[in-house]
Structure 1
Amino acid sequence: MTPERLARINEMLDNRQVDLTVCLDKVHKTNNIAATVRTADSVGIHQIHAVMPEDSLWVSGNTSSGSHRWVNTIKHVTYQDAYQQFRAQGMQVLATTFSDTAVDFREIDYTKPTVIVLGNERDGVSQEAIDSADQHIIIPMVGMVQSLNVSVAGALIMYEAQRQRQEAGLYNNRQLDHEYCQTKLFEQGHPVYAKACRRKNIPYPAIDELGQISADDDWWDRMRAPDQNEALDE
């Protein structure tokens, strides 16, 4: 791994926000999903949630331009499953919907643990999500259209959350656990070896401060040994 690559991955890990997330409530268009994942990555969101029926297809790696490698996705069959997880993590649940109690999205304190629920393209946020939300939020509009594309709306809200969190000093402070960071450094810094480890069922090694593999002779011997699976395929 080059020093530049190491620095870039470490900067990403230092800025990941573990208590800020987005929930896609049955959003089904791949271009909207991909755009939301890319924005989540750009503002430092560590993982997103997606309520998707069991027979739904998730966005492919190609359509998200590699962002899926950096943003974890937790899938839920029902919104209730997702909501229970949000509550267990002590998050405020914000639903993007028009209602008598909805407030300008910029009035929210996003420095608190927060999940932003975005609805699907046709029906918006589900009634279940609306009913269980702590607060409804809207994006004020003065034109003729009544709503924005879901990925555009999500981007506006996520960047407001980033702005507030940057002002509060919540970035540049690593919150992810060491094991996860080691895994990302190895998989993204040494992808060929990572692929070999998965193929040969070899545990990942440690990565040192210079971004290099730190492993004993036994690990290297196993890595250099002929791949039995490939031999069987031949």
Structure 2
Amino acid sequence: MIQRKIIPLDSLNLGLEDLREQRLTNAKGSQKQQLIVCASLVDKIPNLGGLARTSEIFAAQSLIVPDLSVTKMDIFQSISVGAADWIDIQEVKEEALLLWLLQKKTEGYWIVGLEQTSSSAPLHQVEIPTNVVKNNNKTILLLGKEKEGIPVQFLQAVDTCVEIPQFGMIRSLNVHVSGAITIWELTRRTRLLQQQQE
């Protein structure tokens, strides 16, 4: 005799609705942004821990890391202060990153690279395109390597490059710091657009 488990349709629908709500809100109940922070090119664990903390604080959809095992390391856990318990963290290795970015583009994501290039827009001047606004502001923030930035092969998948204006002698900020500033600015702009639509 074969035994089958039968779940009442109402219970199944409620379970699916709960799962959907969990994906759209964070542990505090705040609406998650349609922002994916992609740190696949970041290799320093303190920076990944800081990015996890920042991504959770600003209710990002998820954080992409090059290796999920870093989330178990003491230094990551210490710096992230438990953010890994509250934010979706996924693994995309560097060798799979280009295909992943191209796939996300087909899903309607706007890919923003944080990089100093000849065509980079100052962060405070970047405009979120109308089609992105209509698509629930689905955005990927691509962060580069600690010293080299975003390699050329990944720039081909980027829709817009932004840079943070600097006024000192040092050429660039730490990747976690620059990522945090950019996450905040994208969050601020998205919220303003949402308020204007209400």
Work out whether residues 27 and 86 of structure 2, in 8 Å CA contact, stay in contact via their aligned partners in 1. no
Q: For 2:126 and 2:86, how far apart are their aligned partners in 1? A: 27
Work out whether residues 25 and 126 of structure 1, in 8 Å CA contact, stay in contact via their aligned partners in 2. no
Q: For 1:20 and 1:38, how far apart are their aligned partners in 2? A: 14
Q: Find the partner of 1:97 among 115, 131, 149.
A: 115
Q: Once the 2 structures are TM-superposed, how far is the Cα of residue 150 of structure 1 from its aligned partner?
A: 0.2
CA shift digits 1:78-104 (9 cap, x unpaired): 212321332132111111112111111
Q: For 1:115 and 1:45, how far apart are their aligned partners in 2? A: 10
Query: What TM-score results when the alignment is normalised by the length of structure 2?
Result: 0.71
CA shift digits 1:130-172 (9 cap, x unpaired): 12211111111010011000000001011111211222337xx
**Alignment-mate amino acid for residue 131 of structure 1:** Q
Work out whether residues 40 and 92 of structure 2, in 8 Å CA contact, stay in contact via their aligned partners in 1. no
**Alignment-mate amino acid for residue 129 of structure 1:** F
Which residue matches 1:131? 156
Gaps of 5+ in 1: 1-8, 171-234
* Structure of higher CA gyration radius: 1
Check if 1:46 corresponds to 2:61.
yes
Check if 1:74 corresponds to 2:99.
no
Q: Find the partner of 1:22 among 16, 37, 40.
A: 37
Alignment identity in percent?
Answer: 22
**Alignment-mate amino acid for residue 108 of structure 2:** G
Q: Once the 2 structures are TM-superposed, how far is the Cα of residue 57 of structure 1 from its aligned partner?
A: 4.5
Q: For 1:165 and 1:34, how far apart are their aligned partners in 2? A: 24
Which residue matches 2:105? 87
**RMSD value, Cα:** 2.2
Work out whether residues 92 and 134 of structure 1, in 8 Å CA contact, stay in contact via their aligned partners in 2. yes
Q: For 2:164 and 2:122, how far apart are their aligned partners in 1? A: 6
Check if 1:141 corresponds to 2:141.
no
Which residue matches 1:114? 139
**Alignment-mate amino acid for residue 71 of structure 2:** V
Work out whether residues 49 and 82 of structure 1, in 8 Å CA contact, stay in contact via their aligned partners in 2. no
Which residue matches 1:154? 179
CA shift digits 1:68-87 (9 cap, x unpaired): 11111121122123213321
2:71 alignment partner, SS class: coil
CA shift digits 1:42-75 (9 cap, x unpaired): 111021223x2x7x84233623211011111121
Q: For 2:83 and 2:39, how far apart are their aligned partners in 1? A: 16
Q: For 1:95 and 1:80, how far apart are their aligned partners in 2? A: 13
Instruction: Assess, with a 3 A threshold, how the Cα gap between structure 1 residues 139 and 127 changes in structure 2: closer, same or farther.
Output: same
Query: What TM-score results when the alignment is normalised by the length of structure 1?
Result: 0.61
Gaps of 5+ in 2: 1-24
Work out whether residues 111 and 141 of structure 2, in 8 Å CA contact, stay in contact via their aligned partners in 1. yes
Instruction: Assess, with a 3 A threshold, how the Cα gap between structure 1 residues 67 and 150 changes in structure 2: closer, same or farther.
Output: same
Work out whether residues 96 and 119 of structure 1, in 8 Å CA contact, stay in contact via their aligned partners in 2. yes
Aligned pairs, how many?
158
Instruction: Assess, with a 3 A threshold, how the Cα gap between structure 1 residues 13 and 46 changes in structure 2: closer, same or farther.
Output: farther
